[in-house]
Amino acid sequence: MLKVSCVTKYFKDQKIFSNLDLTVDRGRFHVIVGPSGCGKSTLFDGLTGVTPLDGGSISWNHESLLNLRYHAAYMQQKDMLLPWFSLLNNALLPAKTSGQDMKKAKKQAQSLFSRLGLKGYESHYARQVSGGMRQRCALVRTLMFNRELILLDEPLSALDAITRRSLQSLLLLLQTEFGKTILMITHDIEEALVLADEIYLFSKKPMSLSRHYVLDSPKPRKFNDPILLNIKADVLDKLEGDLMNEQV
């Protein structure tokens, strides 16, 4: 279980968030939604140790940690594929950098390539394939971290709507087939509703939890589910209300 308690972050004198709590049970898919610039990515930076937090505690499976650097795989908005490596070699980067058995890692990567629809593209370079395929490769690379906890920072936001829909089912595979525990940031409310077991809706300045939804309906879900549509309306109401208050 991931437990984030009372985490606080300041930039100079500006409070980004304080006393923020989050809990993600093992094998669950939790999604963070919030307006642009509210501090969601800063929270991930703090969790992964990219920037230090100013307070609070983090624990993973009851082990208290300074950050999740060595315990979580991280996938960002951009695919971050290196242009000088083939797709397969990009996917093998976590294995190369952490000194894993390369023969075993290559076998694992090839099997993931098949599973995620990249078979036959192993020797292609990032510039030779579509944005959706690059993001699939980034997903394989994320799985190659071989870590149970996965942090996803708007992983599909750079893609067109159709590609995004097809990749959402792959994100779901991370939970259903690979048994990962996932914490994802997204701007896309529909995406959150389709994928999440729980949604955290954050408000802006300083970032704080304004709504928490638990979604019990089975996956895969359809957008036109009345319960989901109700939650979507509530989320949009809340976001629009925050925006109006900000403008006033």
Residues that bind another protein (CB under 8 A): 48-50, 69-70, 72-74, 76, 78, 80, 82-84, 93-94, 96-98, 125, 127, 145
For residue 69, how many other CB atoms are within 10 A of its CB?
A: 12
Least separation in angstroms between residue 220's CB and another protein is 30
Least separation in angstroms between residue 224's CB and another protein is 37
| CA nearest neighbour of 69 among 82, 56, 86, 52 | 52
Strands 198-203 vs 208-214: parallel, antiparallel or unpaired: antiparallel
**Residue closer to another protein (CB basis): 74 or 213:** 74
**Residue closer to another protein (CB basis): 105 or 231:** 105
**Residue closer to another protein (CB basis): 82 or 227:** 82
| CA nearest neighbour of 143 among 165, 175, 166, 191 | 175
Rounded Cα distance between 186 and 136, Å, is: 17
**Residue closer to another protein (CB basis): 117 or 131:** 131
Which single residue is written with the structure tokens 């984030």?
Answer: 4
Least separation in angstroms between residue 48's CB and another protein is 6
**Residue closer to another protein (CB basis): 94 or 155:** 94
Identify the H or E element spanning 173: helix 161-176
Rounded Cα distance between 172 and 31, Å, is: 12
Least separation in angstroms between residue 133's CB and another protein is 17
Least separation in angstroms between residue 90's CB and another protein is 10
How is the beta sheet containing 149-153 ordered, strand by strand? 72-75, 149-153, 181-186, 29-33, 198-203, 208-214
